[in-house]
């Protein structure tokens, strides 16, 4: 693979303190800083930056504490998302600064570009000089200490010797340094699919094979299994089947020119590509950087034709109908969903292909489980909950939703608001001082709780945490009564799983003499 041979020397060190190291291409400056710290023998707990004086560009750490970016000009870049290649091939020297207090300046010279480097990690080839002590005052403070330690009669000898003995800087050991570098994990943004898969353990590779319903892999050793998976994952059959369930962000990633995408650590938009073995990821404390190998993008362009894209859209719509049916009915025969889909799309589906499709759907893409020839909302998959819902639904006919209702629930996550829900939203805006978007979110959440068979306690628990004026409203008899009355009216018009998607018709509450509202027998608020 491609790599760079660097010579890193501490400025103003006499005799020179330097290291010659090879680093892989395609890595970020953040990863390069980790490599350089290990290479030089630094512990790595100080701040750092890279300076390219010829181009006038600096590559900085992202630090909320120091707010570096508040005063940065447009020539300062974030080390977490800046790859080294362009810079190292444009300029043959740059400066690495470690510890803004001691200010260790390193002159880094790019000695050569290698195209046949055999490792995916950095390795030190040669070195000269021991690593200076951390926090000793920089290069001149280090030499001053050396002078003191060379003279036992110096008045500061004992104090300096004791301080040095407490330091954790160790004697430079080339073999140990290279061992640490080989275990240092960072994302190589030029990595091939084979290199990404090689980073997994054999058991993890087996899980990837299972995700794709592959067979015949148990006979392989790890290296052979990697080769097997590379071929299978790039094949048209496997790729087209798995990619049916990609989200729009993942499709845009595949079709765009960029090889990497940086997201917050909790962002899961690209996890499906990762779970399928198609992408690599580098994560730190705050962010994740996903990387797509070029051969994956090339295979996508070749395998996933315009006809396939239309089939994928159809599959996405078909799955939406099942998710909507699960949320509306709780328990629903598969054939009922197929009939709704046929009604709106005029597309016929045979039973065998439908069941095969449902078995292929990833767990995180559906809100239901398949039990025989029916789907069950995941909340009711346990036997006791399932039987309880069946008893409550007894005698109810299935509600027939319109195409508009299906698309609203499937794409937006809620059913169209009725008159009573609009009045509840207006209450949150006027009396609760909520913004329009926040009021709508409260209403959607209330609708969801009612739809899936939730209770008034759950609605109040949610409001206590999410409604800013909750305490004030609950302490005011008039406002509390208005809130409960409006929720009661919303309850009557909301489609629920308990009634197989139908809305409640009967009275559910009554006003009592002591001005409390009873929404269910025996439960007062």
Q: From CA 41, how far away is CA 35, in angstroms rounded?
A: 10
**Whether the bond into 464 is cis, omega within 30 of 0:** no
d(CA 104, CA 97): 6
pLDDT (tens digit, 9 = 90+) per residue, 416-429? 999 999 999 999 99
CA atoms of 100 and 85, how far apart (whole Å): 25
Fold observed for domain 306-406: Arc Repressor Mutant, subunit A (1.10.10)
* Rounded Cα gap, residues 492 and 487, in angstroms: 9
Tell me, what DSSP letter sits at residue 503? B
Cβ(275)–Cβ(249) under 8 Å? no
Residue 70's pLDDT band, with cuts at 50, 70 and 90, is: very low
Task: Name the burial class of residue 129, with classes exposed (0-12), middle (13-18) and buried (19+) by CB atoms within 10 angstroms of its CB.
Answer: middle
Residues 42 and 98: beta-carbon distance below 8 Å: yes
pLDDT at 284: 53
Q: What 3 state SS string does 361-386 have?
A: CCHHHCCEEEECCEEEEHHHCCHHHH
Give 429-457 pLDDT, tens digit per residue.
Answer: 999 899 999 999 999 999 999 998 889 99
**Cβ 6 vs Cβ 23: under 8 Å:** yes
- For tokens 């560009």, name the residue: 57
Average pLDDT across the chain, whole number: 88
Per-residue pLDDT tens digits for 26-45: 888 999 999 999 999 998 88
Alpha-carbon 445 to chain mean position: 24
Lowest mean pLDDT among 190-194, 225-229, 315-319, 408-412: 190-194
Q: In angstroms, rounded to a whole number, what is the distance separating the alpha carbons of residues 38 and 170?
A: 12
Q: State the angle between helix axes of 138-149 and 157-166 in degrees (0 to 180), rounded to the nearest 10.
A: 120
- Our CA angle for 239, 305, 296, nearest 5°, is 40
Would you state the pLDDT for residue 170?
A: 77
Strand-strand pairing, 123-128 and 18-24: antiparallel
Closest CA to 180 of 24, 33, 18, 38: 38
Q: Which of 437, 444, 479 lies closest to 459 in space, CA to CA?
A: 444
Please state the separation of Cα 288 from the chain's center in Å.
7
Asked which of 99-113, 184-198, 477-491 is least confident by mean pLDDT, the reply is 184-198
Question: What is residue 188's predicted lDDT score, i.e. its pLDDT?
Answer: 60
Among the listed ranges 99-113, 258-272, 332-346, 410-424, which one has the minimum average pLDDT value? 258-272
Q: What is the pLDDT of residue 507?
A: 41
Distance CA 326, CA 348 (A): 21
What does the domain layout of the chain look like in residue ranges? 3-131+170-183, 193-303, 306-406, 414-524
Q: What is the pLDDT of residues 302-328, one digit of tens each?
A: 999 999 999 999 999 999 999 999 999
User: Looking at residue 65, what is its pLDDT?
Assistant: 47
Determine the average pLDDT of the residues in 225-247.
Answer: 96
Average pLDDT over residues 470-489: 93
pLDDT in tens, 399-415: 999 999 999 999 999 99
Residue 510's pLDDT band, with cuts at 50, 70 and 90, is very low
| 29, 8 Cβ separation under 8 angstroms | no
- Give the residue with greater pLDDT, 65 vs 432: 432
Over residues 325-371, the pLDDT tens digits come to 999 999 999 999 999 999 999 999 998 999 999 998 998 899 999 99
Residue 313 is predicted with a pLDDT of: 94
Fold of 3-131+170-183: 3.10.290
Residue 185 pLDDT > 70: no
- Nearest to residue 248, comparing CAs of 219, 226, 274, 270? 270
| Position 493 pLDDT exceeds 80 | yes
| Alpha carbon distances (Å) from 119 to 25, 88, 185 | 11, 19, 13
Give the closest residue to 276 by CA, choosing from 187, 191, 359, 360.
Answer: 360
Instruction: Give residue 283's pLDDT.
Output: 61
Report for 199-203, 251-255, 290-294: range of highest mean pLDDT: 251-255
- Quote the pLDDT of residue 258: 82
Span 59-69, mean pLDDT?
Answer: 62
Q: Round to whole Å and give the CA distance between 343 and 345.
A: 6
End-to-end CA, the chain: 69
Asked if 18 and 7 count as a contact pair (C-beta separation under 8 A), the reply is yes
Give the pLDDT score at 63: 55
Question: Is residue 523's pLDDT more than 60?
Answer: no
Q: Please report the pLDDT score of residue 68 as a whole number.
A: 47
DSSP letter at 413 equals S
Q: In the chain, pLDDT over 70 holds for what percent of residues?
A: 91
Tell me how many degrees the CA angle 357-359-365 measures, rounded to the nearest 5: 85
How does pLDDT run across 137-146, given as a tens digit for each residue? Answer: 999 999 999 9
């Amino acid at each position: 693979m491609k790599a760079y041979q660097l010579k890193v020397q501490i400025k103003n060190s006499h005799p020179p303190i330097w290291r010659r190291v090879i680093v892989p291409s395609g890595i970020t400056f953040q990863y390069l800083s980790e490599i350089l710290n290990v290479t030089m023998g630094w512990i790595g707990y100080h701040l750092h930056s890279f300076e390219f004086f010829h181009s006038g560009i600096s590559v900085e750490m992202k630090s909320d504490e120091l707010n570096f970016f508040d005063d940065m000009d447009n020539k300062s870049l974030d080390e977490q998302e800046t790859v080294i290649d362009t810079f190292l091939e444009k300029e043959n020297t740059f400066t690495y600064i470690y510890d803004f207090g001691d200010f260790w300046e390193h002159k880094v010279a790019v000695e050569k570009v290698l195209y046949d480097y055999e490792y995916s990690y950095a390795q030190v080839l040669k070195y000269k000089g021991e690593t200076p002590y951390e926090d000793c005052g920089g290069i001149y403070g280090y030499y001053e200490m050396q002078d003191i330690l060379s003279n036992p009669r110096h008045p500061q000898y004992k104090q300096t010797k004791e301080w040095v003995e407490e330091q954790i800087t160790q004697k430079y050991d080339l073999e140990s340094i290279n061992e640490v570098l080989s275990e240092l994990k960072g994302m190589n943004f030029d990595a091939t699919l084979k290199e990404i898969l090689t980073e997994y353990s054999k058991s993890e590779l087996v899980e990837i094979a299972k995700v794709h319903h592959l067979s015949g892999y148990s006979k392989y050793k790890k290296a052979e299994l990697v080769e097997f998976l590379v071929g299978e994952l790039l094949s048209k059959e496997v790729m087209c089947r798995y990619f049916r369930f990609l989200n729009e962000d993942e499709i845009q990633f595949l079709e765009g020119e960029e090889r990497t995408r940086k997201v917050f650590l909790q962002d899961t938009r690209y996890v499906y590509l990762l779970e399928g073995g198609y992408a690599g990821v580098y994560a730190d404390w705050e962010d994740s950087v996903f990387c797509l190998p070029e051969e994956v993008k090339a295979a996508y362009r070749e395998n996933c034709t315009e006809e396939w894209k239309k089939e994928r859209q159809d599959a996405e719509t078909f799955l939406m109908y099942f998710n909507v049916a699960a949320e509306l009915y709780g328990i629903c025969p598969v054939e009922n969903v197929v009939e709704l889909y046929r009604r709106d799309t005029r597309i016929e589906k045979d039973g065998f292909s439908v069941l095969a499709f449902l078995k292929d759907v990833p767990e995180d893409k559906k809100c239901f489980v398949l039990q025989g020839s029916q789907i069950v909302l995941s909340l009711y998959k346990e036997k006791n909950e399932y039987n309880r819902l069946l008893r409550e639904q007894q005698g109810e006919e299935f509600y027939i939703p319109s195409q508009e209702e299906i698309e609203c629930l499937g794409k937006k996550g809620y059913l169209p608001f009725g008159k009573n829900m609009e009045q509840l939203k207006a209450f949150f805006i006027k009396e609760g001082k909520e913004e329009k978007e926040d009021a709508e979110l409260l209403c959607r959440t209330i609708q969801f709780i009612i739809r899936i068979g939730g209770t008034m306690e759950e609605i109040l628990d949610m409001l206590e945490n999410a409604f800013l004026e909750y305490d004030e409203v609950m302490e005011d008899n008039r406002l509390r009564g208005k809130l409960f009355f409006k929720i009661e009216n919303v309850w009557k018009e909301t489609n629920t799983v308990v009634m197989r998607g139908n809305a409640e018709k009967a009275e559910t509450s009554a006003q009592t003499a002591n001005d409390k509202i009873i929404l269910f027998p025996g439960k007062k608020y």
